[in-house]
């Protein structure tokens, strides 16, 4: 069961026991870091629930399974963040993203912070969920990035979550439980997902994509437990952004305050939220590398290893902890549409301060 999903044994066991007992909650909320398999397990579980031979049959080839795998099953509904209906290309982009999710597991998709789950689409889905099943079985609604449900959309969802029709199941995903509206989170059973281990990511890349061991290990080491990040590094040339993050981090940590100001200047007019998120991901990776080097928890083989070892002598545990908190706050600030220049400048100063002595 779920053998195409990397790691996450605990989450798989929880879902498996629900299926075996026949006691499946009407709403599940999958919580965990970016790119660790929440959406993949949600879609695979939805396919099992819709299988014409039953969820425990092990079938993957019946008509219902094939349609569900292609995200074309009439009783499978999918919601995820997208541009507003005012955008002239929003529907084409929505369809393209849906096809990408159907075609590739762990598709390295980053949802921009400004995108929301649209209230119009949500109302359409709710109307369909209240109708009879097309194929006489269950109906499933998967909501990816449920933290992107704004208050208006949340109010639309709340009634059906409180009084779901028979045979209707919701599977929601989010990176942070605290970011989901409390009224929605309180009506779902939470299943937690962990960061993947490097060896789990490397094994998946080698088995599913035929990647050579050296490249898979390198991408896994920089991925911070995210298979989607590892794939982006391997196949989308995100290594260039990670290298830029390394240079920014090293200069901010080792340089003078005037150099931090010089580094921040190119971001003054930036509106590229996705790039900012990638840079913060790199800052987080390098901070953990310094922590590992300080306590000898992990032997690093990437280009940052020597710098990490040097920086580990120039800081302490409290400073690293404070920096990790600032980096997390930086992502939250982007989520609140704080200017990229403000966020990156603040973090560069935070990096500088962490190694100031």
Label residue 173 by pLDDT band (50, 70, 90): very high
Residue pLDDT, tens place only, 131-155: 887 777 889 999 998 888 888 888 8
Run of H or E residues at 171: strand 168-174
Percentage of the chain surpassing pLDDT 70? 93
Highest average pLDDT, of 38-47, 119-128, 225-234, comes from 38-47
> What is the C-alpha R_g of the chain?
22
Gap between the Cα atoms of 157 and 125, Å rounded: 10
What is the chain's mean pLDDT, rounded? 84
pLDDT at position 87? 66
Q: Is the pLDDT of residue 102 over 60?
A: yes
pLDDT at position 112? 61
Give the residue-averaged pLDDT of 50-57: 85
3-class SS of residue 174: strand
Highest average pLDDT, of 108-112, 218-222, 260-264, comes from 260-264
pLDDT at position 200? 92
Strands (E), 2-100: 27-31, 76-79
pTM to 2 decimals?
Answer: 0.74
Please report the sign of the dihedral spanned by the C-alpha atoms of residue 41, residue 171, residue 121, residue 177: negative
Q: Is the pLDDT of residue 122 over 70?
A: yes
CA distances from 99 to 70, 72, 95, 308 (A): 8, 10, 6, 41
Please report the sign of the dihedral spanned by the C-alpha atoms of residue 329, residue 345, residue 339, residue 144: negative
Percentage of the chain surpassing pLDDT 90? 18
Residue 77's nearest CA partner among 138, 16, 32, 36 is 138
Give the residue-averaged pLDDT of 17-27: 88
Q: Is the pLDDT of residue 300 over 60?
A: no
pLDDT at position 86? 65
């Amino acid at each position: 069961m779920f053998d195409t999903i990397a790691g996450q044994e605990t989450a798989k066991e929880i879902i498996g026991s629900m299926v075996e007992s026949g006691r499946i909650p009407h709403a599940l909320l999958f919580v965990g870091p970016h790119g660790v398999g929440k959406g993949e397990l949600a879609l695979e579980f939805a396919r099992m629930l819709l299988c014409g031979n039953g969820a425990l049959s092990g079938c993957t080839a019946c008509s219902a399974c094939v349609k569900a795998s292609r995200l074309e099953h009439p009783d499978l509904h999918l919601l995820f963040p997208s541009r507003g209906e005012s955008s002239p290309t929003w529907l084409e982009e929505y369809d393209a993203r849906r096809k990408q999710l159907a075609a590739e597991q762990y598709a390295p998709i980053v949802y921009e912070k400004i995108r929301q789950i649209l209230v119009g689409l949500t109302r359409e889905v709710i109307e369909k969920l209240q109708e009879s099943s097309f194929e006489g079985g269950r109906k499933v609604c998967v909501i990816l990035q449920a933290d992107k449900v704004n208050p208006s959309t949340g109010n639309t969802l709340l009634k059906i979550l409180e009084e779901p029709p028979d045979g209707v199941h919701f599977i929601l995903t989010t990176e942070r439980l605290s970011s989901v509206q409390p009224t929605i989170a309180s009506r779902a059973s939470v299943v937690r997902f962990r960061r993947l281990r490097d060896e789990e990511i490397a094994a998946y890349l080698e088995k599913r994509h035929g990647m050579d061991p050296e490249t898979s290990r390198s991408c896994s080491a920089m991925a911070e437990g995210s298979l989607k990040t590892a794939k982006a590094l391997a196949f989308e040339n995100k290594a260039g952004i990670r290298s830029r993050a390394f240079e920014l981090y090293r200069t901010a940590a080792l340089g003078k305050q005037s150099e931090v100001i010089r580094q921040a200047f190119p971001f003054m007019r930036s509106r590229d939220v996705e790039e900012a998120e990638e840079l913060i991901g790199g800052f987080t990776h390098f901070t953990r590398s310094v922590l590992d080097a300080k306590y000898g928890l992990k032997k690093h083989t990437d280009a940052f290893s020597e710098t990490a070892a040097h920086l580990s002598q120039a800081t302490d545990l409290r400073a690293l902890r404070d920096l990790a908190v600032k980096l997390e706050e930086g992502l939250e600030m982007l989520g609140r549409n704080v200017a990229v220049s403000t966020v990156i400048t603040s973090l560069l100063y935070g990096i500088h301060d962490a190694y100031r002595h």
